[in-house]
């Protein structure tokens, strides 16, 4: 039975890479999308086909002999299933974020590109972990019930911009940039962690590892994983990266204006000239750390924030229009690129491991 991958972005390409590498005999026919939109005509050398076109070209018998793997964000999978059914494609399965992470983990462990945390031995020291979960007052309630570990604590982002409260910790308390949430998104929480937990030496809030996740996207950190951190000298835990073609520079140019992208390059060159050459090479490869989600040793995270936020502040000043005159989350997107730059540039110095990032419905 031929396989078709529904989707044409990072999730879909990551699924293709893993299946192709782990099961080379499995024939993958094409990538499938509802509409072309900004999607490329070809991905990994395979055509990207619109659903109406495929449905028109195939007989009912041919449709029965196709299996479709839905590799998209989970919040649109139900609607995609209905659309597939309406076109006569009934053999389909969801590649959930948990399944995607498992597939990516096997693939990365095989090619030793991005080391899974689960590949390390379980130790005897339970790491002291404090992870903040960014919440926004407009977040929709979760349909399912999920266990949230005791070391995860909600923090409301953009709290200065509204009166409604959805968490006991607010990113507008202490030293903060809560008012910039429209541009910085979840990074206002990371800034708050930096200034109020990492720099302020508080006995009350002094942990070995600090992290940031989202209300709907969480690191799949198991109890065994917590026991792997200290004994294996893990510096950083990141979500498995997603691949984009032809490279991540082209990917981000789809979402950022040229003037904003030029501001990023200029800011990095001015504040961290030692990163200029490696930045060019990182941009020309295809793996991106999405979501601004991570877990790191306290000092490692402090050093990253000390490197990151001055660059973002300069980007705001160089942007046209400047950051203070807009609210379009562009700094959040740029933060993903800079996280990729920083951790890929320092992968020989830091012990970086990876785990799945689960999407909560």
| pLDDT, tens digit (0-9, with 9 covering 90-100), for 279-288 | 999 999 999 9
The pLDDT value given to residue 253: 85
Q: Over the stretch 152-194, which tens digit does the pLDDT of each residue have?
A: 999 999 999 999 999 999 999 999 999 999 999 999 999 999 9
Which band of pLDDT confidence, cut at 50, 70 and 90, is reported for residue 201?
A: low
Angle formed at CA 231 by CA 230 and CA 233, multiple of 5 degrees: 60
- Nearest 5°: phi and psi at 138? -95, 5
For the chain, give the percent of residues with pLDDT over 70.
99
C-alpha distance from residue 267 to each of 279, 282, 332, 339 (Å): 12, 16, 16, 15
Q: Quick one: pLDDT at residue 125? A: 95
Question: Mean pLDDT across the chain, nearest whole number?
Answer: 96
Give me the percent of the chain exceeding a pLDDT of 90.
93
Cβ density class 212-247: b for 16+ within 10 Å, e for less: bbbbbbbbbbeeebbbbbbebebbbbbbbbbbbbeb
CA distances from 21 to 17, 25, 44, 185 (A): 6, 9, 12, 36
Strands annotated E in the chain: 2-6, 28-33, 42-43, 46-50, 66-70, 92-94, 129-135, 152-156, 169-170, 209-214, 217-219, 236-239, 242-243, 287-288, 294-297, 352-355, 357-359
What are the residues facing 153 on neighbouring strands? 132
**Crossing angle between the packed helical segments 298-318 and 330-345, to the nearest 10 degrees:** 130
Query: Band of the pLDDT at 112, cuts 50, 70, 90?
Result: confident
pLDDT computed for residue 221 by the predictor: 96
**CATH code 2.70.240.10 for 2-95:** no
Cα–Cα distance measured from residue 32 to residue 70, given in angstroms and rounded to the nearest whole number: 9
Q: Is pLDDT at 203 greater than 60 in this prediction?
A: no
Q: What angle do CA 358, 125, 205 make, to 5 degrees?
A: 70
CATH 3.90.550 positions along the chain are: 117-359
d(C-alpha 361, C-alpha 356), whole Å: 16
d(CA 48, CA 53): 11
Nearest to 94 by CA among 107, 106, 81, 84: 81
The pLDDT value given to residue 56:
96
Q: Quick one: pLDDT at residue 171?
A: 98
Segments of the chain assigned to CATH 3.40.50.720: 2-95
Confidence of residue 261 (pLDDT cuts 50, 70, 90): very high
How far apart are alpha carbons 253 and 334 in whole angstroms?
11
Nearest to 332 by CA among 266, 282, 260: 260
**236-239 and 294-297 beta bridge pairing:** antiparallel
Q: Find the mean pLDDT for residues 73-79.
A: 97
If you ran DSSP here, which 8-state letter would residue 65 be given?
A: T
Task: Decide: helix, strand or coil at residue 31.
Answer: strand
Select from 220, 159, 187, 254 the least CA-distant residue to 356. 220
Please enumerate in sequence order all residues whose Cβ is within 8 A of that of 259, keeping only pairs 6 or more positions apart, or say none.
319, 320
By CB atoms closer than 10 A (0-12, 13-18, 19+), residue 30 is middle
Tokens describing residue 183: 């541009």
Rounded to an integer, the average pLDDT of 251-278 is 94
pLDDT at 202 over 80: no
Q: How far from each other are the two terminal CA atoms of the chain, in whole angstroms?
A: 31
- CATH T-level fold of 117-359: Spore Coat Polysaccharide Biosynthesis Protein SpsA; Chain A (3.90.550)
CB 240 within 8 A of CB 104: yes
pLDDT value of position 361:
92
Asked whether the beta carbons of 276 and 234 are under 8 A apart, the reply is: no
Question: What's the mean pLDDT in 67-77?
Answer: 97
CB-count burial class (<10 Å; 0-12, 13-18, 19+) for 305: buried
What is the spatial order of strands in the sheet that 129-135 belongs to? 169-170, 152-156, 129-135, 209-214, 294-297, 236-239, 352-355
């Amino acid at each position: 039975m031929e396989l078709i991958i529904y989707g044409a972005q990072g999730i879909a390409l990551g699924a293709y890479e893993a299946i192709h590498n782990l099961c080379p005999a499995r024939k993958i026919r094409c990538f499938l999308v509802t509409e072309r939109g900004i999607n490329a005509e070809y991905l990994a050398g395979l055509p990207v086909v619109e659903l109406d076109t495929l449905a028109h070209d195939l007989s009912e018998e041919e449709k029965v002999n196709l299996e479709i793997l839905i590799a998209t964000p989970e919040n649109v999978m139900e609607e995609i299933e209905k659309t597939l059914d309406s076109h006569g494609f009934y053999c389909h399965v969801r590649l959930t974020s948990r399944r995607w992470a498992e597939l990516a983990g096997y693939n990365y462990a095989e090619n030793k590109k991005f080391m899974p945390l689960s590949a390390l031995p379980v130790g005897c020291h339970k790491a002291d972990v404090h992870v903040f979960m960014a919440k926004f007052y407009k977040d929709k309630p979760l349909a399912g019930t999920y266990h949230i570990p005791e070391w995860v604590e909600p923090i409301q982002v953009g709290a200065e911009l509204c009166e409604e409260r959805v968490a006991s910790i607010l990113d507008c308390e202490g030293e903060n940039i809560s008012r910039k949430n429209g541009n910085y998104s979840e990074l206002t929480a990371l800034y708050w962690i930096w200034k109020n937990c990492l720099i302020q030496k508080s006995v009350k809030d002094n942990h070995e590892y600090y992290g940031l996740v989202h209300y709907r996207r969480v690191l799949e950190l198991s109890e065994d994983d917590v026991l792997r951190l200290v004994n294996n000298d893990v510096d950083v835990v990141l979500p498995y990266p997603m691949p984009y073609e032809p490279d991540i520079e082209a990917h981000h140019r789809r979402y950022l204006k040229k003037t904003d992208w030029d501001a990023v390059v200029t800011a990095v060159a001015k504040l961290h000239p030692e990163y200029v050459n490696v930045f060019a090479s990182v941009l020309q490869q295809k793996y991106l750390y999405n979501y601004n989600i991570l877990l790191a040793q306290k000092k490692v995270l402090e050093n990253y924030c000390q490197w990151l936020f001055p660059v973002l502040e300069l980007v705001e000043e160089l942007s046209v229009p400047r950051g203070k005159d807009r609210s379009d989350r562009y700094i959040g997107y740029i933060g993903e690129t800079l996280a990729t730059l920083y951790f890929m540039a320092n992968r020989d110095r830091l012990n970086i491991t990876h785990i799945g990032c689960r999407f909560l419905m």
